[in-house]
A = this chain, B = another copy of it.
Amino acid sequence: MNKGRLEAFSDGVLAIVITIMVLELRTPEGSTWEALREVAPTFLTYLLSFVYVGIYWNNHHHMLQLADRVDGVVLWANLHLLFWLSLFPFTTGWMDETGFDPVPTAVYGIDLLLAAVAYWLLQASLVRRQGHDGPLAQAVGGDWKGKASPVLYLLGIAASFWEPYVGVALYVAVALVWLVPDRRVERFVAEHQDAGSPVSDPDA
């Protein structure tokens, strides 16, 4: 099966998730800098979730580059990932509205954790199709980021019950780790391709 529509549908869902979160950003009450400053936490939470959706979009983009074809299992693994990402506006909104109370901050981390697990399952479903010596398996390699993230999320979730800001700090830390784009795929593509023959781009 063609992967084009899977990419298009995922792009659509992620574009909407990343954009409707801005609807949480209520306009300040008043016309002053003071009023604007009061929405600063909401703004920063929006920024964090925007960056997370951006990271998922980037990594999704990279991973699908190395996938050739998709099957029904991959389609559902992808929808499963989109499900947890689609809850970001909800978990972001709750954490923000309660002013970073313990439970909502932990729930935000649980959503991050489940999205990470879903991403890992999607990757596994793609690797399974290619075999463990396929391009994706080789490019992913040790995947220390993918292994470290769930541990950090779990620490963040636990920390939220003690001091929510430590939890948030851990979530931010994971985002920063991932902000560096996944060079493995780019390197793999660069190594396994004649530099002189750019891959033909149908949209060029």
Q: Does A44 sit at the interface, judged by CB under 8 A?
A: no
The complex places the Cα of A133 from the Cα of B89 at a distance, in Å, of 44
Quick check: A19 and B13 within 8 Å, CB to CB? Answer: yes
Apart from A13-B19, A16-B16, A50-B86: 20 A-B pairs, beta carbons within 8 A: A1-B186, A2-B65, A5-B7, A8-B8, A8-B11, A12-B15, A12-B16, A13-B15, A13-B18, A15-B15, A22-B89, A27-B90, A27-B93, A31-B98, A33-B103, A54-B79, A69-B201, A71-B186, A72-B181, A72-B186
Copy total for this chain: 4
Q: Does A83 sit at the interface, judged by CB under 8 A?
A: yes
**Residues of A participating in the B interface, judged by any CB pair closer than 8 Å:** 1-9, 11-20, 22-23, 25, 27-28, 30-33, 36, 47, 50, 54, 57-58, 61-62, 65, 68-69, 71-73, 75-76, 79, 82-83, 86-87, 89-90, 93-94, 97-98, 101-104, 107, 179-183, 186, 189, 198-199, 201-204
